[in-house]
Each structure stands twice: as C-alpha cells, then as structure tokens.
Amino acid sequence: MNRMTNSIRSALLKAVQVEPGEGRALFWSFSYFFSLLCSYYIVRPMRDEMGILGGVENLQWLFTGTLLVMTAVIPLFGWVSSRFPRRQFLPYVYLFFIFILLLFYGLMAGQVAPAMVARGFFIWASVFNLFVVSVFWSFMADLYSNAQARRLFGFIAAGGTVGALTGPALTALLVQPVGARNLLLLSAVFLVWAVICIIKLSSWAASNQTEVETSTDDAGVDALGGSIWDGIRFVFRSPYLSGICLLMLLFTTLATFLYFMQAQIIRDTFTDSSQRTAVFASIDLAVNALTLILQIFLTSRLIKWFGLAAVLAIIPVLLAIGFALLSISPVLSVLLVVQVIRRAGNYAVMRPVREMLYVVLSREEKYKAKNVIDTVVYRAGDAVSAWLYAGMRSLGIGLSGIALIAVPLALLWAWLSFKLGRQQTRIAERNN
C-alpha cells in the first residue's frame, strides 16, 4: 500500500514538475485554495436561488449593491494591509468573513427580516467570493517566483477546483437533513482551515526565503506601508495595470451577459425552485470536474507549448465562438455547453494564467492594485454590464441579438489578453 502511495505521489510530483523544497508549500497552497472554494461553493447555490427568487428583472440592483459594498470595503483593506505585516493581515481578512458568516447564521436562525437578509446574503456572498480569492492569489503571486508560478499555479488552482467540487456535493448531501442555514457553520469551518494554511505558508516562506525577485521585505514580516488609496493610484499610473483593468472589464461584461441569459433561460425552462437549484448544482459539478482534469494535466503544459500570451487568448476566442452559436440558437442545451466551457476554461486556464500577470510586479502592487482590480473593477464591470443588459432587453433586443453584440467584445478581449501576455514576458526578462 505504501509502495503504491509513493508511486502515485512520485508520478503526481513529476507531472506537476515540482522541484526539491517546494512540496510542502505546494501542499499547503493546494489545501488553502481547496478550503476557500469549498467554503464558498457550500453557499453558492443558496446565493443563486435567492437571486432568482428576488426576480431576474431585479438582478441589476443586487449587482449594484455588491459594487457599493465592495467599494466601501477597499479602503478598509488598504488600511489593514498598510499597517500590518502579511502574516497578520491575511488571517484578519478571513476572520472577518468568518464573523459575517456567523452573523448571517444568527439572523437566519432568528427569522429576522427574511427578504432583506436574503438580499444581503446575495450581496455578501458575491463580495466574499471575489475578495477572499483575490487575497489568495495575491499571496501566491508574492510567495512564488515567476518560474515557479508557470509550473505550479495550474496545480494550485486545482486545489480550488477540488474544493469547488466538494462544496456543492456537501450542500446536496446535507441541505435536507441539516437545513440550509446550518451549512453556514460548515462553511466557516473551512475558512478556519484556510487561516491555518496561511500560518503554515508564512512559516515556510520565512524558513526558505522563497520570495519573488522583486520582493523588498523579509518574507512578509514588515507591513506594506503607504496610503489606503495606493491601489487606485498604482492602477491609474501604470499602463500595464490599466490594461489588466480593461481585460477584467471585458471578462466581467461577457460573464454577466451569460449569467443573465442563464437565469432567464433556466427560469423559463423550469418552474420549480428545487429543480432550478439542482440545475445550478449540476452546472457547478460539470464545470469543476472538467476544470480539475484540465488543471492537473493541461494548464502548465499549454504555457510551456504555446507561451503565456497565446494561452491567455484561448478562452476569449472560444467564448466568441460560443456567443456566435447562441446568437443562432439561444436554447438551454447550447447555453449549458457554452457556460460549462467558459467557466471551466476560466478556472482551469484563464484564472491561473491571468494571475501570472501580477508575479512580475512589486509587493504593494500585488496586494493593493490587484485587490482593487479583482474586486472594485470586477464588480463595476458586473454592475455596468447588468444595467447595459437590462437596457438592451428594455429596447426589445432578444437573447440572439445580445449574443451577437458579445462576439466582437470577446475578440477584443482575446487581442488584449495576447498583448498583456507578451508584455508580462518582457517585464520578467527585464527583471532578470
């Protein structure tokens, strides 16, 4: 048995291209992302169903509320990251979200203003997802070098995919016997494990001094310093970061268009709430199963074979084809195929490769500017595109017309992704 386990372990480490001294950090990074996405995907089906129960025609208001909350949180994060070292402020972020989870548990248990709590939960879950994942990838970009990122980020992302598979499976298994609100406690347990992983990784970084070439402090012991508004300032003064902002806006616009199409088609196809929740869970399981296979066996090899720039452009090109198909036939079967490919491609390829764009930047840019882009810019794109979608629908533009409008946006996204990938390679060469 031990021989078989060692053989599997050796084959896996070889497939991931792990070098000596990286195994422990890779395990804790994988486990960290697993716990984050497992925590989120336990509550995600609840969030999506609450969005539909509030009315598909009102989703743009929930997206706008999410943007406002996200904008309010950014200065607080800037203040914390400026005054506390990384090994302290990262656990603080997750402890804050654990507290909010427990607060929602108490409100739901007490049946306090159910409609308002439902809307608040939708907004909080949307903030929670982006914020904790953004902080995770900031930490990874800070912890690993550019060369390590190209080899390891695909496998680390697979940890999140395993969590994203485990989360909805736990929800489907436990929601009826224990009740939905009690799943919030289970979600909080996984966040506690994420804090433990942060502590372990900080200890590994301190003992190994495995920091990126641009690091200026000692393994995250010193606070970042600066102003709470530094992240915004970094974005506006750097053409590279501004380009990443535009990439994020195009990504969120197209994702929002597809999300609204999904909500409308599923609402029109299924009348029962439990059926819709089951469909959402099935989509999550299909997406995450495909993502896991791609992350373990393909992501790092794609970068090795074709280079960062070309890999960044793959998913936008595929999405352009998908929207073209939806413009011809906007039906459930086509939508499900396009949505699964888009989300799996994003999680398996686009997300880990996009995070490599930040590896070549300074530590302040990795935490402050990146967090602004991943949260405020992301949710601004969500909110603007939600109102744009609602406006097009009010003008009588159907799903086919909206899908056709999305095609050139996807091609623009592909072109920009390719340009940013080329620029990242040039910056990495210059840093070396």
pLDDT tens per residue, range 327-343: 898 777 788 888 888 88
Beta-bridge mates of residue 85: 223
Among 245, 248, 223, CA closest to 234? 245
Burial 147-175 (b: 16+ CB within 10 A, else e): ebbbbbbbbbbbbbbbbbbbbbbbbbeeb
The answer to whether residues 172 and 75 touch, using CB atoms and an 8 Å cutoff, is: no
C-alpha angle 336-342-348 in degrees, rounded to nearest 5: 125
| Most confidently predicted of 82-96, 113-127, 163-177, 399-413 | 399-413
Contacts of residue 323, Cβ cutoff 8 Å, sequence gap at least 6: 254, 338, 403, 404, 406, 407, 410
Residue 36 pLDDT greater than 80, yes or no: yes
How far, in Å, CA of 179 to CA of 196, rounded?
27
Continuous H helices in 54-113: 59-83, 86-109
pLDDT confidence bin for 87, thresholds 50/70/90: low
How far, in Å, CA of 94 to CA of 96, rounded?
5
pTM for this entry: 0.66
What is residue 58's DSSP assignment? G
How far, in Å, CA of 253 to CA of 231, rounded?
22
Q: Is the dihedral of CA 382, 386, 392, 397 positive or negative?
A: positive
Angle of helix 230-237 relative to helix 239-269, nearest 10 degrees, comes to 100
pLDDT single digits (tens) 362-413: 777 777 777 778 777 877 887 788 889 888 988 888 888 998 999 999 999 9
Among 243, 224, 258, CA closest to 373? 243
What is the mean pLDDT of the segment spanning 16-44?
Answer: 83
Neighbours of 392 (CB within 10 A): 17
The domain limits of the chain are 22-212+226-431
The answer to whether residues 363 and 82 touch, using CB atoms and an 8 Å cutoff, is: no
Main-chain dihedrals φ then ψ at residue 126, nearest 5 degrees: -70, -40
Return the CATH class of domain 22-212+226-431. Answer: mainly alpha
The residue behind tokens 């009826």 is 176
Beta-bridge mates of residue 223: 85
pLDDT confidence bin for 262, thresholds 50/70/90: confident
The answer to whether residues 360 and 428 touch, using CB atoms and an 8 Å cutoff, is: yes
- Cα 162 from chain centroid? 14
Residue 150 pLDDT greater than 80, yes or no: no
Contacts of residue 301, Cβ cutoff 8 Å, sequence gap at least 6: none
Lowest mean per-residue pLDDT among 140-154, 250-264, 383-397: 140-154
Residue 50 pLDDT greater than 70, yes or no: no
